[in-house]
């Protein structure tokens, strides 16, 4: 089996960063009213800036496939030619089309005459990591010598006011229970757009650093837990969901079926616990000693979860000192499937890494609760 190395990674963020004060002007007012929950939600998630693939009037400036393509072209510049790439994997939770698949749309956008294998994982936050794992396994098994793996989102257009029939306007409830804000309105003030692409090869880079991928461990708990984040369906009182094809056009409209929603109570009860539960199995299965981890890159949907995750980790397994945590959520926002890629990109292209250091990436997904852990070594 081959060793697999991440030898380069680049990002493409659309337009200029958007401040908290500018958000609602771009995303629009729901029913003509300003959000009363916005300030409280931003206070909890502590996001300062984010990026939108929209102009100041709310008009789209990039498709999802275009963002991924731009990140890929930035990645390969002066490194490799697209004609040398035989595998492209691309993950997202906000594809431009239901069909064709996202990776096919990205391949079509690249402007290459090279036919290649493409793969699109379906999912939310884990879609990027599943994309990366497919490429990792293909190189590990000797199918290819190099591959490109991308992750991207255009979530802002999904969060535009035109897609919402009503607004959470429950200030007292939000103050008493912050989780109540992690429903429809919460997502509007958290999600961001952007893309990143990584070059994977079966050898280290000829110059500069590389990250050797030791393993990628994925686990689903959907057999134990109900749906939490969802779109294209409605959630019933008993925890089951009814898909859009079972609903009339009128029912779809009344229930805002195609907007992205989150069950706040289920999220708060399980997201941290099951992320740590998975890590416990990883430590046992992979013989992972957390004392040997030099950098923890946790994908957090909100900084609200940082303290809780730190304390839960300390109580159940072992403390990872907070100075080892690398998080860029306040600067780039929650970019869903691309969030882990963007943390890796920023750390990789910084001057913080030293040879031999271990990097642990953590990506929990609340859709129906799954998570990914990945360990890399700086070489």
Task: Give me 306's structure tokens.
Answer: 């940082």
Determine the pLDDT at residue 88: 98
Q: Are residues 266 and 228 in the same domain?
A: yes
Same domain for 294 and 204: no
Q: Look at residues 211, 242, 272 and tell me which one is the last residue of a structural domain.
A: 211
Q: What pLDDT, on a 0 to 100 scale, did the predictor assign at position 255?
A: 81
Q: What is the count of structural domains for the chain?
A: 2
Specify whether the backbone of 28 is left (phi greater than 0), alpha (psi in -120 to 50) or beta: left
pLDDT of residue 173: 53
- Tens-place pLDDT, residues 97-135: 999 999 999 999 999 999 999 999 999 999 999 999 999
Domain identity same for 224 and 286 = yes
230 and 207 fall within a common domain:
no
Q: CA 368, CA 117: separation in Å to the nearest integer?
A: 29
Average pLDDT of the chain, as a whole number: 93
Q: Is the pLDDT of residue 182 over 50?
A: no
pLDDT for the residue numbered 35: 84
Task: Pull the structure tokens for residue 141.
Answer: 């098994």
Instruction: Tell me, yes or no, whether 265 and 313 share the same domain.
Output: yes
Question: pLDDT tens digits for 142-175?
Answer: 999 999 999 999 999 989 888 775 444 444 555 5
Is the pLDDT reported for residue 343 higher than 60? yes
- pLDDT given at position 66: 98
Which has the higher per-residue pLDDT, 33 or 70? 70
Q: Are residues 170 and 235 in the same domain?
A: no
C-alpha span between 137 and 117 (Å, rounded): 14
Same domain, yes or no: 156 and 275: no
* Domain end residue (candidates: 211, 241, 274): 211
Domain final position from 147, 182, 211: 211
Say whether both 161 and 258 belong to one domain.
no
Per the CB < 8 A criterion, the answer to whether 36 and 171 are in contact is: yes
- Give the pLDDT confidence score for residue 36 in this predicted structure: 79
Does residue 223 share a domain with residue 202? no
Taking the CB of residue 213, how many other CB atoms lie within 10 A of it?
A: 22
Higher pLDDT, 285 or 187: 285
What per-residue confidence (pLDDT) applies to 32? 79
- The more confidently predicted of residues 341 and 173 is 341
Contact 127, 146 (CB under 8 A): no
pLDDT at residue number 180: 47
- Which CATH number belongs to the domain containing residue 351 in this structure? 3.40.47.10
| Banded pLDDT at 262 (limits 50, 70, 90) | confident
Rounded Cα gap, residues 316 and 309, in angstroms: 11
111 and 240 together in one domain? no
Same domain, 230 and 318: yes
Could you tell me what percent of the chain has a pLDDT over 70? 94
Does the predicted model carry a pTM greater than 0.85?
Answer: yes
Among the ranges given (168-172, 213-217, 325-329), the one the predictor scored with the smallest mean pLDDT:
168-172
Tell me, what's the pLDDT at 172? 55
Per the model's pLDDT, the better-predicted residue between 301 and 14 turns out to be 14
Residue 186 has pLDDT above 90, yes or no: no
Backbone angles phi, psi at 217, to 5 degrees: -115, 120
Same domain assignment for residues 135 and 237: no
Pairing of strands 87-91, 117-119: parallel
- CA–CA distance, 297 with 359 (Å, rounded to integer): 7
Structural domain of 36: 5-211
């Amino acid at each position: 089996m081959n060793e697999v190395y991440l030898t380069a990674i680049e990002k493409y963020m659309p337009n200029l960063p958007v401040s908290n004060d500018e958000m609602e002007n771009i995303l629009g007012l729901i029913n003509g009213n300003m959000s009363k929950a916005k300030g409280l939600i931003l206070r909890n998630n502590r996001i300062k800036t984010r990026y939108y693939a929209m102009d100041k009037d709310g008009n789209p400036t990039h498709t999802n496939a275009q963002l991924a393509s731009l990140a890929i072209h930035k990645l390969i510049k002066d490194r490799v030619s697209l004609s040398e790439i035989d595998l492209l994997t691309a993950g997202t939770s906000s594809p431009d089309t239901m069909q064709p698949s996202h990776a096919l749309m990205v391949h079509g956008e690249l402007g290459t005459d090279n036919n290649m294998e493409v793969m699109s994982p379906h999912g939310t936050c884990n879609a990027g990591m599943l994309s990366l794992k497919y490429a990792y396994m293909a190189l590990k098994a000797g199918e290819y010598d190099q591959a490109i793996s991308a992750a991207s989102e255009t979530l802002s257009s999904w969060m535009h006011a035109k897609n919402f029939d009503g607004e959470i306007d429950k200030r007292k409830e939000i103050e008493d229970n912050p989780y109540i804000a992690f429903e429809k309105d919460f997502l509007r003030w958290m999600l961001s757009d952007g893309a990143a692409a990584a070059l994977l090869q079966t050898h280290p880079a000829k110059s500069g650093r590389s990250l050797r991928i030791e393993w990628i461990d994925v686990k689903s708990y959907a057999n134990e837990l109900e749906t939490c984040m969802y779109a294209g369906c409605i959630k019933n009182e008993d925890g089951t969901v009814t898909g859009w094809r079972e609903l009339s056009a009128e029912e779809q409209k009344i229930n805002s079926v195609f907007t992205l929603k989150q069950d706040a109570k289920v999220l708060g009860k399980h997201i941290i616990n099951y992320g740590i539960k998975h890590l416990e199995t990883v430590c046992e299965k992979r013989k992972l000693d957390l004392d040997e981890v030099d950098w923890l890159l946790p994908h957090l949907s909100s900084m609200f979860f940082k303290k809780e995750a730190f304390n839960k980790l300390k109580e159940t397994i072992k403390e990872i000192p907070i100075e080892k945590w690398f998080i860029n959520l306040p600067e780039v926002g929650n970019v869903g499937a691309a969030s882990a890629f963007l943390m890796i990109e920023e750390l990789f292209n910084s001057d913080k890494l030293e040879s031999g250091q271990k990097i642990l990436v953590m990506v929990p997904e609340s859709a129906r609760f799954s998570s990914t852990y990945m360990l890399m070594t700086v070489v």
